[in-house]
Amino acid sequence: MPRGGVDPRTGGGERRREILDAALAIADEQGLGAVTMRAVAARIGLTPMALYSHVGGKEGLLDGIVERMLADLLPSLQASGSLEDRLRSLARAVRGLARRHPSAFALMLSRPSVTPESLRELDALYQALLDIGVPREHVPRVERMLSTFTLGFAASEVNGRFQPRDARTSRSRLDPDTYPAHAALRDVLEQKIDWDDEYEADLDDLAHLLATRWSG
Amino acid sequence: MPRGGVDPRTGGGERRREILDAALAIADEQGLGAVTMRAVAARIGLTPMALYSHVGGKEGLLDGIVERMLADLLPSLQASGSLEDRLRSLARAVRGLARRHPSAFALMLSRPSVTPESLRELDALYQALLDIGVPREHVPRVERMLSTFTLGFAASEVNGRFQPRDARTSRSRLDPDTYPAHAALRDVLEQKIDWDDEYEADLDDLAHLLATRWSG
DNA sequence: ACCTGAACACCGTTCAAGT
DNA sequence: ACCTGAACACCGTTCAAGT
């Protein structure tokens, strides 16, 4: 084992960045399944084996993709405005990230992020929650709750979990006896959904929660 | 194309169930990556090609795994007690499902579920939200918000997103100048987290939201 | 330090054939 | 209807070798 050497999974360098950008581009164009050591290498004119010293292997390659995506969120942290505006700005940035990288975004919910960039983002979130008045001992938990919802919504949207393939047609033809609530909500369920509006309404609800939970 | 035939991806039968159970068992024992057409076939003494008439291919196999997991949630719907108790019971069942099938659970966030079982679960949820007093036009959105959080929390927990590999050691050694909020929360961040407690606290928050949002 | 080339043990899936 | 067997075009990774 290369004990004294540089960790092959995190070693910096331009080549590493070039590799990760190629992997992300392939994911965007052809899906995560097309992100292959061979395909990534070919896109930048290398042999598959050349990647190993830069990303360590397939798993390291996927970790690196998450790292690159998180870097995209940094600018939204410098947004000005009220605290709530900055939280909303970050939440919107997460959703925008999911729409830019719909296939790769799934990785965000499955891999812990411990890069310096993500920690800075986390720190800004902690500070915002403290300033809003969330009790110290609840701050990490509330951050996890908000990030879980934010990531989960974006992932659900881009993965199509919210849009069953035959939703509008079959949902209206459900048997009212076995699915009474569907029948009662039939007109609501047949409405076309604007996901921008839905997301903003969810953020309103969460802001309401933060505003009322520890004030009464 | 077999236009008049039975859809190969949804065709019932004991063999299909046997195949899906084998796939889920392999996912539980060796991870989702080990769920291979060849491995699943071998476990029940078949040739890989024999699976195609029952699940339609690799994608259909993964859809089937979701179908089998959702079936596990049904019993929790018959729970008695108050409406809030039944919602909490379902939320706990989702988390329990994730812990029984940590590897396969990731599929739940990426695939829309339109099987009859999942629709019945959805119907019960709609009814509960209506009874609680959520306005008709908000019910589908609130259901999506709650299910997104519930699935996202369970997925984050079992995937390790909440537990960065070197969390307790490195988090306490962060530079206070670049990570001021982490420094301010240092004692809180060093506490050991009980995920049962955290989940219940989150459910309390969401119940608070439902109780206050449309009453004032 | 960085990269290549050949080889190994795997994949999912098509196709023609059996009963 | 259900299953098999051989074949095809892929994978990630090891290893020995080059510069």
Closest alpha carbon to C1' of C4, residue: A47
- Give residue-wise pLDDT tens across range A29-46: 999 999 999 999 999 999
At residue A19, does pLDDT exceed 80? yes
Quote the pTM value: 0.86
Flag whether pLDDT at A210 surpasses 50.
yes
Residues of A in contact with B156 (CB under 8 A): 109, 144, 148, 151
Sequence-distant (6+) residues with CB within 8 A of B111 are A159, A160, A161, B62, B63, B66
Of the candidates B114, B145, B184, which has its C-beta nearest A165's C-beta?
B114
- For residue range B93-111, what is the model confidence (pLDDT) as tens digits? 999 999 999 999 999 987 7
Query: What's the pLDDT score for residue A199?
Result: 96
Residues within 8 A of A (CB atoms), B 67-86 only:
none
Angle at which helix B139-159 crosses helix A195-213, to 10 degrees, equals 80
What confidence tens digit (pLDDT) does each residue in B4-43 have? 234 444 456 899 999 999 999 999 999 999 999 999 999 9
From first CA to last CA, the distance across chain A in angstroms is: 58
C-alpha to C-alpha distance for A125 and A77, rounded to whole angstroms: 9
Task: Check residues A161 and A117 and name the one with the higher pLDDT.
Answer: A161
**In chain A, which residues from 17 to 76 place their CB closer than 7 Å to nucleic acid strand C?**
41, 45-47, 49-50, 53-54
Q: Per mean pLDDT, which range of A2-6, A118-122, A208-212, B212-216 is the poorest? A: A2-6
Find chain A residues with C-beta within 8 A of B123's C-beta.
178-182
pLDDT, tens digit, 9 for 90 and up, residues A157-194: 988 888 765 554 566 678 899 899 999 999 999 899 99
Burial class (CB in 10 A: 0-12, 13-18, 19+), B43: middle
SS3 of residue B66 by DSSP: helix
Strand C at less than 7 A from CB of B31: no
Residue B69 φ/ψ, nearest 5 degrees: -70, -40
Scanning B90-149 for CB atoms below 8 A from A yields 106, 109-114, 119-120, 122-127, 130, 136-142, 144-145, 148-149
Q: What pLDDT was estimated at residue B125? A: 86
Q: Are A116 and A108 in contact, with CB atoms under 8 Å apart?
A: no
For residue A182, which residues of chain B lie inside 8 Å, CB to CB? 119, 122-123, 126
A75-80 contact pairs (CB < 8 A, 24+):
A77/A120, A77/A121, A77/A124
Element (H, E) at A106: none
Tokens of A21: 């950008």
Write out pLDDT tens, residues A52-81: 999 999 999 999 999 899 888 877 766 677
**Cα(A114)–Cα(A125) distance, rounded to whole angstroms?**
15
The predicted-structure confidence for B163-209, as pLDDT tens digits, reads as follows: 765 554 566 678 899 899 999 999 999 899 999 999 999 999 999 99
Task: Tell me whether residues B149 and A144 touch, CB distance under 8 A.
Answer: no
Q: Indicate the angle between helix axes B116-132 and B139-159, nearest 10 degrees.
A: 120
- What own/partner pairs with CB < 8 Å and gap ≥ 24 does A190-196 have? A193/A162, A193/B140, A195/A157, A195/A162
Q: Do A181 and B124 touch (CB under 8 A)?
A: yes
Element at B42 (helix H, strand E): helix B37-43
Q: How many beta carbons lie within 10 A of that of residue B130, not counting itself? A: 16
pLDDT in the model for residue B71? 83
Within 8 A of A166 by CB-CB distance, chain B residues are: 114
Question: B159 and A113 in contact (C-beta within 8 Å)?
Answer: no
Checking if the pLDDT of A7 tops 50, the result is no
| pLDDT tops 80 at residue A47 | yes
Torsion of CA B38, B43, B44, B49, to 10 degrees: 0
Nucleotides of D under 7 A from a protein CB: 1-6, 10-16
How far apart are the C-alpha atoms of A131 and A154, rounded to whole Å? 26
Cα atoms found within 13 Å of the Cα of residue A65, Cβ hemisphere only = 29
